[in-house]
Amino acid sequence: MATMTKTTLTLLLCVMSASCTVIQKQPGTEPVRLVFYNELNIVAEDKNPTCRYLGEIVGSEGHWYSYLFVSNTDLTHGAMNDIHNKANELGANVVYLNDQIPFSTSVTFYGQAYNCDYDTR
């Protein structure tokens, strides 16, 4: 019985420690402008660039079994890095983010990806 308990605890510890890593930006990613839901006019300063809609993006970080071991800041950074990575996969340089989706065990953002004809650097 003690061996089974020890094995179970070891397995649980391995799963918990492996789950504490946060999503990182992929190497070589291009800059992506993240525009939050409460920003009134996303293009006024850019003299109305032409933008092409590319799709929806969901960025998330955290799991029910790991959220107690990862800070809210790291969860948020992981979700934002997930958005950046997915935007780069689509070829987007602007993502309009809606309000954060409230979960108690993770951070999740939902947005629309665009490719606009201006430089985001």
The CATH number of whichever domain residue 87 belongs to comes to: 3.30.110.70
> What 8-state DSSP symbol labels residue 99?
S
**Percent of residues, the chain, with pLDDT higher than 90:** 20
For range 63-90, the mean pLDDT = 87
Could you tell me the residue range of the domain that residue 41 belongs to?
31-116
Structural domain contains residue 25: no
Q: C-alpha angle with apex 43: 39 to 46, nearest 5 degrees?
A: 130
Q: Enter the pTM of the model.
A: 0.66
For range 102-106, the mean pLDDT = 80
Structural domain contains residue 95: yes
**Which secondary-structure segment (H or E) carries 1?**
none
Residue 91, pLDDT above cutoff 80: yes
Residue 66, pLDDT above cutoff 80: no
For range 17-36, the mean pLDDT = 67
